[in-house]
Amino acid sequence: MLSSLLPFVLAQGIAIPVIPPPPSPSIPTEPIAPQSPQELVVPQRVRPLTGKLDNTPVLNSNNPELIFNEGIIISTLPSIGMGSPYAHLNYAFRGRFDVFAHHVVQASPEGRTLYLGILLFNDSRQPAKVNVLQAASSLTSPDALFIELPPQVENPDGQFFSGPGSRVMDRVLRGQRQALYPAELIIPPGQAQMLVNNPLPVNYRPDPTQPPPLKLPRNGFSAYFRLQTDTPIYGASLAMYAPKDAQGNERPPTLAEWQQLLKTANLMTPRDRIPRNSQRRIYSRVAGVSLGSTWIATLTDNDTREQLNIPQSGQAFSYAISTIEGGLMGTNQKQAAKMAVRYPDTAYESHGNYGVHYSLTLPLHNPTSQPQQVSLAIETPLKFNEGRDTLTFLVPPAPNVFFRGTVQFRYNNDQGTAQNRYFHLVQKRGQRGDDLVTLTLKPAEKRTVQVDLLYPPDATPPQLLTVRTR
């Protein structure tokens, strides 16, 4: 664990003891061939989650994921008077709503800076007050590089993250609002304001004596906002190259320039892959308004009991998180958020539920006459659809990362002391999860564990929350 953390903690200026590497062997050895993963099949039942998504609408800006042009990514404004009516979905947000954006920007051959703008428009005859409850955004570089972290590391202060999605969801999970975002916006009647007006810089400066490289560098951006409005408003996500001042220097776009782009621009191209429900399924990415930002559930044995009997000794069961069409894990439960409005060539549902807050209460109960040791873990087995009583893992796991994010556990430990612990997890395809929380329950004891996470962008669903008795 320490050796894998060493480069990161040194970069953060954290003092740790230096452990010298073991001496090199004096006898030459044959190169070790990469180990082929072996399938590990374990008996383990997957249960559906109780509860359901709420109806909070989410302005969901994720298609196209890769942007390297100006244009409208998504607009929920009315189409009347717009240059490209088909680019506007005519959906007003009322009360609580969220905004999610996750994109990758590619450098332009000319080295121009692209800006991402999220605009809120008040079409009513009275001022609109928008409360910014939580807010976070992050670039991959320089804010949140994809660095290698251990499969799990305790993360009490949010100092561990890998990628912008991981960092943004950690901040919102902790109820934070970044200082660059105001606590509220007041939007006059018939006017707009920018929620986001952020540059997406890419470290590339063209050499006029050389042709541009075949593969231009990229940078990522993630953002999530929890908002409350007292007046119906519309929203839009846009991209624009930085205008230049009289001296030829780039400057941020003005509100008027964003509004002009919104009125005259087309829907951004090139588009992402078109969704397809067939043997070779294409989920596509989301552009529209998805319905649901929170899944609250109390996990019990049935609807009438207020407890969850732990598994028998040596056994385990799991609950699926973020199930999707074709990956129901035998639960027959599709958790993907429905779309209130969408563009015809984008995802049918919010596959992956990026940004959705899973808030799960487990009232654990030991029904036996002996003390029992029970543990909780997050796992990423191989995806399947139809029902079965086994899970398949890979040993070692595949190299591709399927989950990067923070999970919160709240409970009383065996000494009765309240615990509030955060873990940053990195899980690869087919990875069996290590124990995160271990408790010893006395005979007939009941103890509640609260598990919370915001499903992070760049994750590949589904994952499992596993309860295991030793």
Residue by residue, DSSP assigns 426-461 as EEETTBPPPPSEEEEEPTT-EEEEEEEEEPPTT--S
> Residues 429-446: pLDDT tens digits?
999 999 999 999 999 999
183 contacts: CB under 8 Å, gap ≥ 6: 131, 132, 177
The dihedral of CA 82, 68, 283, 294: what is its sign? Answer: negative
Does the pLDDT of residue 24 top 90, yes or no?
Answer: no
Strand 294-298 versus strand 357-365 pairing type: parallel
> Residues 64-106: pLDDT tens digits?
999 999 999 999 999 999 999 999 999 999 999 999 999 999 9
Q: Helices (H), strands (E): how many in the chain?
A: 3, 27
Does the pLDDT of residue 460 top 90, yes or no?
Answer: yes
> Residues 192-242: pLDDT tens digits?
999 999 999 998 989 888 888 889 999 999 999 999 999 999 999 999 999
Residue 316 tokens, joined:
């385990």
The pLDDT value recorded for residue 304 is: 62
Helix H or strand E encompassing 259: helix 255-264
The pLDDT value recorded for residue 264 is: 97
Does the pLDDT of residue 21 top 50, yes or no?
Answer: no
The CA distances from residue 217 to 85, 143, 213, 223, in Å, are 33, 16, 9, 21
In this prediction, residues 141-167 reach a mean pLDDT of 97
Which DSSP letter does residue 27 get?
S
Residue pair 347/283 in contact (Cβ under 8 Å)? The answer is yes
The pLDDT value recorded for residue 280 is: 80
Q: What 3-state class would DSSP assign to 458?
A: coil
pLDDT band at residue 33, thresholds of 50, 70 and 90?
low
**Residues facing residue 393 across a β-bridge:** 40
The pLDDT value recorded for residue 381 is: 98
CA–CA gap between residue 280 and residue 309 (Å, rounded)? 40
The pLDDT value recorded for residue 69 is: 93
Share of the chain above pLDDT 90, in %: 86
Does the pLDDT of residue 27 top 60, yes or no?
Answer: no
The CA distances from residue 67 to 61, 200, 240, 270, 275, in Å, are 12, 10, 10, 8, 19
> Residues 294-319: pLDDT tens digits?
999 999 997 667 899 999 999 999 99
The pLDDT value recorded for residue 34 is: 59
The pLDDT value recorded for residue 167 is: 98
Residue 106 tokens, joined:
């590619």
pTM for the complete prediction?
Answer: 0.91
The CA distances from residue 228 to 46, 98, 194, 222, 358, in Å, are 36, 8, 16, 20, 20
CA–CA gap between residue 251 and residue 112 (Å, rounded)? 11
Residue 122 tokens, joined:
């008040």
The pLDDT value recorded for residue 398 is: 97
Residue 82's CB is within 10 A of a number of other CB atoms, namely 17
The pLDDT value recorded for residue 341 is: 98
> Residues 251-278: pLDDT tens digits?
999 999 999 999 999 999 999 999 998 7
Which DSSP letter does residue 248 get?
S
> Residues 3-18: pLDDT tens digits?
444 344 434 443 333 3
Does the pLDDT of residue 352 top 70, yes or no?
Answer: yes
